[in-house]
Amino acid sequence: MNMKIVNVKIPTLDKELFYTISIKDGSVVELVPHPSKVKGERAFSYLQEELMTTNDIVWDGEGRILLPGMVDAHMHLDKSHTLFVAENKSGTLLEAIESYTKASESFTDEQVKERMRKTALGALAHGTTTIRTHIDFNTRVQEETTFRGIRMALELKRELASVMTIQVYPMLPYYPYTDLDRTKIEKMLKMDIDGVGGAPHISEKPLECIDEIFSYAKQHNLPLDLHTDESDDPAVDTVLYIAEKTKQFHYQGKVVVDHLCSLAAMEEQKAKMVIEEMKKAHLGAITLPAANLYLQGRGDTGIIRRGITRVRELLEAGVPIATASDNVCDPFHPFGRGDLLQIAQLTGYTAHLGGKEDIPTLLKMITDIPAKLTGKQEKGIATGQQADFVIIDATSVERLFAELPQTRAVFGGGRWLVSTTTSRHYEVNGSIQLGRG
């Protein structure tokens, strides 16, 4: 499909300019900025039939927002939509883990894959074309359950390869390991996985757990992405040891740490030192505001902490930090729809990022930054790169964040992948008027 779209705004490149983007055989062949609108041929349509059947056309984007295909760098596809089979009465992380583990023994292959597919395709419809999913790898349940999530995630990864990229990161179990645990881990590491995950801070012996995780990653030459210090306790600081191991193993740029809730609880001096050490080790970071707003601060009374890491300080220190969905409709987080724009808005609330200069940063936290953290070769929108983008029905970034419009069209792999349209009909003074919605 060859086409040209004029008059789109690409706020990750520049907030004010209008761009002309030309696409040939699935690649961007030309990208030209203009200070004001140019003449188009036909108003951009979100109707799938029109999008799919039109070739060699000059669409007029009329100032709508175009974003690079969004990157959800931290999801749990295997757990998504299990809320109705796994309760969490206390709303704590520990009950969520226990409840999910118990329920997981009764899941079938079909159920797990169906839930993963639903979440992944839902995310795609919102404009996410890359997902990194953490997958439970619990060695202390029946062997079939241990491997089910990974087998299903790898099947789904292959099934959806033509429309989106899915990276599979099994979470290593809690330490200490038995010989049987190690045998299962070795078997898992030989599967077609993309990296190694885990949550060492929950282990009985977190530092030993981190040692072993690094050894496995190095042995199999896999990057690491770890749930880190998801706790309100300022004394929990395993990120310092992760930074140390990263340097020792020459893993700079290959380690991502997620959550970092305790960093928010630490006193200023210590937090500063931790951020400095993270920077020296070239760690990437991910904040997960939805799940942490829900799970953290459960022991607090009076003013309840929000559990969100120091996003602004990390950004200012130059630590690449993305924001991501984490859990969707499960005991860890009962809400959500896998829409990164919604998550970016939530990040704006929780990290106090809403000023004129902050909005493009929020957009980068769901596009360029997670693209870098997930090792995507192509980042953003540029000449010569694969055309991978979403056009959203808003003509300014302010409206984008105010409305989170659902009307979106997603392009990738040389074709329109999915479009969603919503519209409102108003009855005003006896006549029906159409409004965007």
Q: Which is nearer to Zn ion, 28 or 152 (CB)?
A: 152
CB of 235 to Zn ion, least distance (A): 22
**Candidate residues 78, 237, 326, 388; the one interacting with Zn ion per rule CB under 5 A:** 326
Q: Using the Cα atoms of residue 184, residue 190, residue 193 and residue 198 in order, give the sign of their dihedral.
A: positive
Q: Which is nearer to Zn ion, 333 or 372 (CB)?
A: 333
By rule CB under 5 A, what count of residues binds Zn ion?
1
Q: Which is nearer to Zn ion, 10 or 295 (CB)?
A: 295
CA separation for the pair 53, 437 (Å, rounded): 25
Sequential DSSP letters for 307-375: ----HHHHHHHT--EEE--B-SSBTTBS---S-HHHHHHHHHHHTT--STTHHHHHHHTTTHHHHHHTT
CB of 396 to Zn ion, least distance (A): 33
| 424, 104 Cβ separation under 8 angstroms | no
CB of 69 to Zn ion, least distance (A): 22
72 lines the binding site for Zn ion (CB under 5 A): no
393 lines the binding site for Zn ion (CB under 5 A): no
Return the range that interacts with Zn ion (CB under 5 A); candidates 309-317, 319-327, 370-378, 427-435: 319-327
CB of 288 to Zn ion, least distance (A): 6
Q: Which is nearer to Zn ion, 229 or 326 (CB)?
A: 326
229 lines the binding site for Zn ion (CB under 5 A): no
CA separation for the pair 2, 22 (Å, rounded): 8
Return the range that interacts with Zn ion (CB under 5 A); candidates 7-15, 110-118, 318-326, 361-369: 318-326
Q: Which residues contact 78 (CB under 8 A, 6 or more apart)?
A: 112, 115, 116, 133, 135, 136, 149, 152, 153
CB of 326 to Zn ion, least distance (A): 5
Q: Which is nearer to Zn ion, 257 or 381 (CB)?
A: 257
Q: Which residues does residue 172 pair with via DSSP β-bridges, in sequence order?
A: 198
Q: Which is nearer to Zn ion, 72 or 393 (CB)?
A: 72
CA separation for the pair 172, 206 (Å, rounded): 12
CA separation for the pair 4, 8 (Å, rounded): 11
| 123, 156 Cβ separation under 8 angstroms | no
Q: Which is nearer to Zn ion, 169 or 401 (CB)?
A: 169
CB of 227 to Zn ion, least distance (A): 5
Closest CA to 208 of 216, 198, 200: 200
Q: Which is nearer to Zn ion, 326 or 339 (CB)?
A: 326
CB of 7 to Zn ion, least distance (A): 39
| In the block, residue with structure tokens 């030989």 | 190
Give the Cβ contact number of residue 355 at 10 Å.
Answer: 9
CB of 89 to Zn ion, least distance (A): 21
Residues that bind Zn ion (CB under 5 A): 326
